[in-house]
Structure 1
Amino acid sequence: MKKYSFVLISFVFMVLFSSCTQTQGNHVLWYDEPANYFEEALVLGNGKMGATVFGGVQSDKIYLNDATLWSGEPFDPNNNPEAYKYVEKVREALRNEDYALADSLNRYLQGEYSQSFAPLGTMYIDFAHPKESKEYKRELDINDAVSKVSYSVDGVEYQREYFVSHPDQVMAIKLSSSKKNSLNCTVRFESLLKFKTNVTDEILTVNGYAPYHAEPGYRGDMLNAIRFDENRGTRFTSLFKIEHEDGKITSTDSTLVLSHCSEATLYVSIATSFNGFDKDPVKEGLENQSVAAAQLKNSINKPFASLKQSHVSDYQSLFNRVSLDLKGSEEKNIPTDERLLQYEKGVEDKGLETLYFQYGRYLLISSSRTKDVPANLQGIWNPYMRPPWSSNYTVNINVEENYWLAEIANLSELHKPLLGFINNVSKTGSVIAKTYYGVNGWTVCQNSDIWALSNPVGDFGGGDPNWANWNLGGPWLATHLWEHYTFNQDTAYLRNFAYDLLKGSVDFSLEWMIKDKDGYLITSPCTSPENKYITPTGYHGSTMYGGSADLAMIRELLLNFQEASKVLDIHGDIQDRVDDALANMLPYKIGAKGNLQEWYYDWEDEDPRHRHQSHLFGLYPGHHISPTETPKLAQACKTTLEIKGDETTGWSKGWRINLWARLKDGNRAYKMYRELLRYVKPDALHVTREDHHGGTYPNLLDAHPPFQIDGNFGGAAAVIEMLMQSTQDHIELLPALPDSWPAGTITGICARGGFEVSVEWDGMKLTKTVVKAKTAGATTLVYGNTKKDIDLKAGEQIEVVW
């Protein structure tokens, strides 16, 4: 039995405990040449405005995005009002084991495609440099969310400093030179959207609009894939203003020209007319021009240093909550892309592992601070009119994986855009539940967008049911509502916001399930996200009944709802129905190979190594499968992962690392974490899964490939899962510590039950834990076979020495 002692600790000790020194290599990305591709450029953002900085010498290219600028307009959820009539026909085909007919009929349960996240445009800063540059360096310091470029030309040193401010809602770029009057540049703007420019009072003004429709890129070349109408689509305004100390500004109708200056600041303000998922952005939109003008006016009166101070203070109030120090980290004074290449060859680099973890937190802070508008497949950074998978909200894993990091990494506020989005899709999804499935409640299917699209996609029959028809996005999303409560213990939030949304998803689930031939509750029809089965007769199909993934998500939802009802002391008919459903749902089945069965029958997978592992939901991100409580099911999950192998896409690898962590196999999780950081060449937009497995681009963005941000978030979340796991009742410390991390400290991470936790270990053994209660509560600390109950008042902290 390990010895432990309890000591109430002071604020001073906590400051000392949490102030782990970090080398520059642990929070700075840097390179010795400009970016040529998006996958090399450095991304900045304030949670709404995104900027992708290339850092060129002769011309600096900066992609601009706004989280609220999408193609499309409010959609009509009543777009296929008699689709529900085909549900029974599909069920009849399934009862007759006619899976080909079921697949065919399932196509009648399809609607329109989602819209696409749009590129606002590209800002260029063209410099009149007479010679080649020397001593070039560009960097992004995620400790303060500031990027810099420096170089010299003909003995003159030049520097640029960039950030995107959340408090002031502008981008600021400071341009400076070491020699008086040697700074000369031209600012211009281009866009793939429709736009017009003019210059008035030395302000370059751009007004434009997005298309009212954009076909998904995966549909291939199509006539009129992008459709514009000057009377439809979200409006945008971009304003560019240069404040300068000396020199002069001249202009054309589309450029600002800075001449013979020593130092200047470029301010960029953007705004859109988006005013909510159900508001016409033209007729009911925000006044984008006046909003952009107000932001600019507020900012240009502030010195660059003042703007920067406000930006850094705001950003660090979030970022500095968590620190990670893997002992033995050495400063790596080489460019980040070279570090990745060395790391792929097996070189140890704990600093890079720490950097990747904190970069995930940086990305979430930078992309998720807009009300009801969560981070999409690419966060808020996209240069394409038809981006990969529309850069939309893919609800069968990807948008949820974006938020696995939020609560545990002490960024709970950044979860709220997703929670608000859930409220939006519940409104459109209630119509979809009725018209597509003939039941009450609400749901959302595989894809969604800023307009809260909730129907199954496929263009009314053109999509393969294997990806188009999945309809359990509502239950999966709804589990986030309960997760947010478990970390914050906010009963007012649970009662006034989350509970009715949970109940609506429960209503859908209870009515959607039917009894199988043995009396068990199942879903029918269903699919398992993007995977296919092979029947004993050799048919490769998608539509089935009793899929484990559906039942796993519904089971987790019903368990969440039970707990929420207990917290709020609510009793009634629906609680009884939930209890009855949990007792009568089809149990998990273990196949002949020892795997957790994905299908109702023990069928073969068309692709045994398929990237999706949706039927393992109960292990992670769910909680009803675990090595301690359900060891046989946990072993079946392990066998499933062994069959699938470790080679997979970026987001899938992020998920599998978390699954291995939940299985308490830290070394396997760490092996895959290293693989997640495998270098992938830039410009990989057209690289297929067969050409390359997932990894990391030179700028540390996740390579699905192509770029998808969910792998960053999933991988970062997995670091915490290796070091701490929790339920409402207990906090398990170092549950999956890999041998490669024998000593270290992590501070400020969050546990369910409303606790903030710091952990210190050495020689593969836990040495010290500090627990702070956000609200009054009790929990059990678990380390190996040692357990200790603690009960703290709100704000109270305790140190446990092991």
Structure 2
Amino acid sequence: MKKYNFSIILLLFTFIGVFGQSTNTLWYKQPAQYFEESLVLGNGKIGATVFGGVNSDKIYLNDATLWSGGPVNANMNPEAYKNLPAIREALQNEDYKLADKLNKKLQGKFSESFAPLGTMYINSDEPKEYTNYYRELNISEAISKVSYEVKGVKFTREYFVSYPDQIMVIKLTSSQKGALSFDVKFNSLLKYKTITTKNTLQINGYAPIHAEPSYRKSDNPIIFDENQGTRFTTLAKIKNTDGKIITTDSTLGIKNASEALIYVSIASSFNGFDKNPATEGLNNNAIANQNLQKAFAKTFAQIKLAHLKNYQNYFNRVSLNLGKTTAPNLPTDERLRRYAKGEEDKNLEILYFQYGRYLLISSSRTEGVPANLQGIWNPYMRPPWSSNYTTNINAEENYWLAENTNLSEMHSPMLSFIKNISKTGKITAKTFYGVNGWTAAHNSDIWAMSNPVGEFGQGDPCWANWNMAGAWLSTHLWEHYVFTQDKNFLKNEAYDIMHGAAQFCLEWLVLDKNGKLITSPSTSPENIYIASDGYKGATMYGGSADLAMIRECFDKTIKASKILNIDAAFRAKLEDALAKLYPYQIGKKGNLQEWYFDWEDAEPQHRHQSHLFGLFPGNHITPIKSPALADACRKTLEIKGDETTGWSKGWRINLWARLWDGNHAYKMYRELLHYVEPDEVKTNYARGGGTYPNLFDAHPPFQIDGNFGGAAAVAEMLVQSDEKEIRLLPALPDAWESGSAKGICARGGFEIAIDWQNKNLKKTVISSKKGGKTTLIFGKKTKQISLTAGQKIEVNW
């Protein structure tokens, strides 16, 4: 049993707390035992999961570009579209059972999986008894630290992953000269070989050519081929000031030192979604060696300074204060438990918001490789849901905070990925649906796979056959433009892709019996209806979610066409089709209908609420523009209830914010921070969505989308905008009666700073990136604003 000097620890924690640890630091009194207690670092490509153990420190390593598989054969089911007439005929005959059966013929392969690169161990020969243990992650610096004492000797470790130097650095020190001794060891679930030289550990390996999704039974779920798959190199090198470096055939270590640095360099052969990583790949060994040599020539102070400057350029753009707090300064896990009991902790609410921004900066800086379901942190060979891009909500939710929390650059990996998937998506549109343009379906991966999944007929259509990802993803291109006002981006990058997504939808639509345009076949993501004859199914026609996404896609493409003054004929077709879309229907319960008919849901509290897309993330339903539909959305949310998975809570908070119900949004925000034990800890209570000890979102299991959706919702509660107006404090809860926010972004290229007291605005500062006009709205007050590029003004209310 370990002994702790609690008086010293208390003094340490109190001292740190004075300097605001509670809003930017996660800290603990013990090492992590489980993944959900670890602290994660990343530079948008290299991911590190640090456990902070004393005698053996375990660090999971990931590379954002290391996945199973290779470039997808998008033409995998070239005659699938020939099944469409039979499916549509079954639907016209209201034979939904047959339509479900036939819809399975519109399926292709499953996605590939994000791979775990390996685990690095730092093993020391210090005695097991230790005191004064402390572990932290400072998200304002993106640096993690560990300290403890053994027989009066203080040992410290400092870890960070640098973007400028593309290197992970670990600094180890002891307070007594010559007391530091450790070995570095590596292992992996992938195929690999280890080579050691005088002060470098080199690991070369490769990922599998296929990894079956974790939810599918298979006799051979992981397939390796030494001639195929993405290659990787990991290098670890020690720089010492004293002591002696020692090696074995599988370890690298040091004896009797006072201070040492471990440099860790990682590279893969991934060379783009359409290049074979084995035969057309990058030289991972050369890249890893080059990055290591360049970094090794620099001092720790130089690398750290460059890291801080680069990271804080993004993180420091936004600040948030939610007023006075009386919460005690507790370790983060204890803090979450206390908060779950209903106690006040405004700074924990700020920490969670800023932690979402931290995670996005740390996981989304590689072109064409957006943050996946687990960001870039995954230790599993067959991770939950393949740790892929689930494009019926989760991949998109990861980027809801990119623009409004002032991290527009972090949106770039997703935007470039959309460009990639639009290319494979053209083949999918032709072969699966018999139309032009492009689309994507329920799942994708680093290879920009766009086909509907299901392994050619084995998938349930309720999730496998949804095909509206193109419409949804295209709206991200518009969002980036409308926040940045980057007309060159709209013209040269976004518009053709938006046009292609709209073209698919335009040609996919068919007329119903009343002459209205609908989709057929249609599904609503992962949800099941109960037809009038009692049949429970997924395949139908005219699903509200499809039409909501098409409305948004058409609306944004029309606006882009007008801004660029191009494509007038196509724009006219979109405007005509938009007017003929089957309208939203309000059901007998006052809810917004999810189905063409007023059918019951097989699961009324289902986690998805895709048919509310027009309220959020779309904006064609609002309490002012369409009050009846907004009320129907409210009723739908009331029927669904608040208890749901982590990512779904994140979405519902945004929806309540868009309904301008700050107190309900806040209630759900608190519930998103509900404490959930690590997955391997058995508990006797329902483990719904919430937050793990390390602030990771609990679906459960871990999915990062809840972190991102929750952070986006905080900004949405404080500032909402469209191309013409900015609404300030639209969903401010009573709990946040006084506070301030700085750096929140608004559509139109504006940046906002606000101070409020007793729920009244005291000060507003607005600046413009490119110049423009907008209307500021606070309650019933409005202010017309016109700014030049770079201008900043203070607005008094």
1:801, distance to aligned residue in structure 2 (A)? 1.8
Q: Which residue of 1 aligns with 2:529?
A: 533
Alpha-carbon distance in structure 1 between the residues aligned to 2:519 and 2:729: 38
Aligned partner of residue 347 in structure 1, secondary structure: coil
The reply to whether residue 90 of structure 1 matches residue 87 of structure 2 is yes
1:483, distance to aligned residue in structure 2 (A)? 0.4
Match of 1:262 among 234, 258, 265: 258
Is contact 1:687-1:705 (8 Å) kept? Answer: no
Alpha-carbon distance in structure 2 between the residues aligned to 1:311 and 1:35: 25
Q: Which residue of 1 aligns with 2:48?
A: 51
The reply to whether residue 100 of structure 1 matches residue 97 of structure 2 is yes
Q: Which residue of 1 aligns with 2:704?
A: 709
Q: Which residue of 2 aligns with 1:385?
A: 381
Is contact 2:690-2:698 (8 Å) kept? Answer: yes
Is contact 1:50-1:67 (8 Å) kept? Answer: yes
Cα 1:739–1:22 change in 2 (3 A) is farther
Alpha-carbon distance in structure 2 between the residues aligned to 1:796 and 1:140: 36
Is contact 1:197-1:205 (8 Å) kept? Answer: yes
1:330, distance to aligned residue in structure 2 (A)? 4.3
Match of 1:700 among 695, 701, 707: 695
1:569, distance to aligned residue in structure 2 (A)? 1.0
Q: Which residue of 1 aligns with 2:766?
A: 771
Is contact 1:25-1:331 (8 Å) kept? Answer: no
The higher relative CO (CA closer than 8 Å, separation ≥ 6) is in 1
Is contact 1:275-1:281 (8 Å) kept? Answer: yes
The reply to whether residue 280 of structure 1 matches residue 272 of structure 2 is no
Alpha-carbon distance in structure 1 between the residues aligned to 2:552 and 2:661: 23
Q: Which residue of 2 aligns with 1:722?
A: 717
The reply to whether residue 190 of structure 1 matches residue 187 of structure 2 is yes
Aligned partner of residue 205 in structure 1, secondary structure: strand
Structure 2 residue runs without a partner (length 5+): 1-17
AA aligned to 2:193 is K
Q: Which residue of 1 aligns with 2:171?
A: 174
Superposition RMSD in Å:
1.2
Is contact 1:768-1:800 (8 Å) kept? Answer: yes
Match of 1:356 among 349, 352, 355: 352
Q: Which residue of 1 aligns with 2:74?
A: 77
Q: Which residue of 2 aligns with 1:801?
A: 796
Cα 1:719–1:499 change in 2 (3 A) is same
Q: 4+ residue runs of structure 1 moved beyond 3 angstroms? A: 684-688
1:657, distance to aligned residue in structure 2 (A)? 0.2
Aligned partner of residue 350 in structure 2, secondary structure: helix
1:329, distance to aligned residue in structure 2 (A)? 2.8
Alpha-carbon distance in structure 2 between the residues aligned to 1:506 and 1:236: 39
Alpha-carbon distance in structure 1 between the residues aligned to 2:680 and 2:258: 39
Q: Which residue of 1 aligns with 2:749?
A: 754
1:109-146 deviation digits (Å, cap 9, x = unpaired): 00000000000000000010124010001000001000
Structure 1 residue runs without a partner (length 5+): 1-20
Is contact 1:687-1:706 (8 Å) kept? Answer: no
AA aligned to 1:60 is D
AA aligned to 2:115 is A
AA aligned to 2:195 is N
The reply to whether residue 245 of structure 1 matches residue 225 of structure 2 is no
Alpha-carbon distance in structure 2 between the residues aligned to 1:387 and 1:519: 46
Identity %: 65
Cα 1:516–1:317 change in 2 (3 A) is same
AA aligned to 1:574 is F
The reply to whether residue 209 of structure 1 matches residue 206 of structure 2 is yes
Q: Which residue of 1 aligns with 2:638?
A: 642
Alpha-carbon distance in structure 1 between the residues aligned to 2:198 and 2:512: 72
AA aligned to 1:669 is A
Is contact 1:761-1:768 (8 Å) kept? Answer: yes
The reply to whether residue 118 of structure 1 matches residue 115 of structure 2 is yes
Aligned partner of residue 215 in structure 2, secondary structure: helix
Q: Which residue of 1 aligns with 2:127?
A: 130
Is contact 1:330-1:351 (8 Å) kept? Answer: no
Alpha-carbon distance in structure 2 between the residues aligned to 1:785 and 1:744: 21
TM-score normalised to the size of structure 2?
Answer: 0.97
1:75, distance to aligned residue in structure 2 (A)? 1.1
Alpha-carbon distance in structure 2 between the residues aligned to 1:573 and 1:720: 38
Aligned partner of residue 217 in structure 1, secondary structure: coil
1:333, distance to aligned residue in structure 2 (A)? 2.1
The reply to whether residue 154 of structure 1 matches residue 148 of structure 2 is no
Alpha-carbon distance in structure 2 between the residues aligned to 1:253 and 1:71: 28
Alpha-carbon distance in structure 2 between the residues aligned to 1:331 and 1:371: 41
How do 1:509-524 residues align onto structure 2 when only pairs under 5 Å count?
509-524=505-520
1:375-403 deviation digits (Å, cap 9, x = unpaired): 00000000000000000000000000000
Compare 116-125 and 565-574 and name the one that shifted more: 565-574
Match of 2:600 among 594, 600, 604: 604
The reply to whether residue 459 of structure 1 matches residue 422 of structure 2 is no
Q: Which residue of 1 aligns with 2:328?
A: 332
Q: Which residue of 2 aligns with 1:60?
A: 57
Alpha-carbon distance in structure 2 between the residues aligned to 1:582 and 1:296: 55
Alpha-carbon distance in structure 1 between the residues aligned to 2:395 and 2:567: 33
1:691, distance to aligned residue in structure 2 (A)? 4.2
Alpha-carbon distance in structure 1 between the residues aligned to 2:786 and 2:326: 39
Aligned partner of residue 740 in structure 1, secondary structure: helix
Aligned partner of residue 396 in structure 1, secondary structure: coil
Alpha-carbon distance in structure 1 between the residues aligned to 2:282 and 2:189: 22
Aligned partner of residue 219 in structure 1, secondary structure: coil
Q: Which residue of 2 aligns with 1:785?
A: 780
Is contact 2:561-2:568 (8 Å) kept? Answer: no
Aligned partner of residue 669 in structure 1, secondary structure: helix
Alpha-carbon distance in structure 2 between the residues aligned to 1:617 and 1:491: 26
Match of 2:400 among 396, 400, 404: 404
TM-score normalised to the size of structure 1?
Answer: 0.96
Q: Which residue of 2 aligns with 1:14?
A: none
Alpha-carbon distance in structure 1 between the residues aligned to 2:317 and 2:362: 15
Matched residues, number: 780
AA aligned to 2:139 is I
1:686, distance to aligned residue in structure 2 (A)? 10
1:257, distance to aligned residue in structure 2 (A)? 1.8
Alpha-carbon distance in structure 2 between the residues aligned to 1:752 and 1:438: 36
The reply to whether residue 302 of structure 1 matches residue 298 of structure 2 is yes
The reply to whether residue 34 of structure 1 matches residue 41 of structure 2 is no
Q: Which residue of 1 aligns with 2:139?
A: 142
